[in-house]
Amino acid sequence: MTDSAIAWVFPGQGAQESGMGRDVYDAFPSARDLYERADAVLGRPISKLCFEGPDDVLGKTFNAQPALFVTCIALLTVAREEAALAEAPAFVAGHSLGEYTALTAAGAISFEDGLRLVETRGRVTQAAADATPGGMAAVIGLDEAAAQAVCDEAGVELCNINSPGQLVIGGAKGKMVRACELALARGAKRAIPLDVSGAFHTSLMEPAVAEFSAALAAIEIKPPQVPVVANDAARPMTEPDAIRAELAYQLTHPVRWVQCVEYMAGQGVDTFVEIGPGRVLTGLIKRIASGTTLKNINGAGSVSS
């Protein structure tokens, strides 16, 4: 790898907000085409949900996942057209749902198949969450080892390793109160319950794996044209079978975002471009790889070179 390189990164669920994508839809025919194709593929007006909400409906996992996916791809497509992303990336990566956007950006999965996959993912994980009510909480101020010890004692699990001192834990609702109390007792500055409908990236999602694996088996996956750094192993995925295995595994295991960013920085990446609504990943990367250049493409005003 060269001494200087760029990576594109894509946010996951939680970055969605009503109104997202409307400016690029109005300004660029290519973005309009993508939203219209998404409506046709899904058989429902996902574009209307993106632009108008309401937020409580947009925020439901079944809607939020395809909505964020199409918005990120629209922003990426327009940025490429407008030469805002003239330099080819050395790596692409995405946080949780963003991994699907990254794989589509890298040419491993088609736009249409990516849409179907993320909608299926939203449906089957929500069904698993409904079957076994769970919750998640952000833990601020503990390192991974201390957070893992809390999880082991409380009977919950690590969900996201987001940045140094910021992790997310999850598990059955009855155990999450105890887990938060333990985290605070062990020195966490805060333990904040999250407004989510289930314990995603934990073993409570196991009922979703079989059906989702069948959906993965039914689509064509090609070797990525750009290395895609996997959420779990924090190393590039190069073969279709490895990609299928990662996407199924990811349902029940944590997103190791710290390790993903550290790997890319260690390979010479000194510029990270977050492509999608908001600046969630930018804030995390700032705490993981200080000194790197951080850029955002999150609306029509940010896609010109």
- Tokens representing 279 are 């600046």
Provide the 3-class DSSP secondary structure of residue 222.
coil
Distance CA 65, CA 10 (A): 13
CA gap 254, 161 in Å, rounded: 7
**Alpha helix locations (H) across the chain?**
22-27, 29-42, 46-52, 55-58, 61-81, 98-105, 111-131, 144-154, 173-185, 209-217, 240-250, 257-266, 280-288
In the numeric block, the tokens 């025919």 are attached to 29
Active site residue 18: no
Nearest to 229 by CA among 201, 266, 202: 266
* Cα–Cα distance measured from residue 185 to residue 162, given in angstroms and rounded to the nearest whole number: 21
- Per the residue annotation, which of 95, 96, 163, 253 is the catalytic one? 96
Pick the catalytic residue from 47, 95, 163, 201: 201
User: In whole angstroms, what is the distance from residue 119 CA to residue 20 CA?
Assistant: 18
Respond yes or no: is residue 253 known to be catalytic: no
- Give buried/exposed letters for 170-193 (b at 16+ CB in 10 A, else e): bbbeebbeebbebbbebebeebee
Which residues are catalytic, by number? Answer: 96, 201
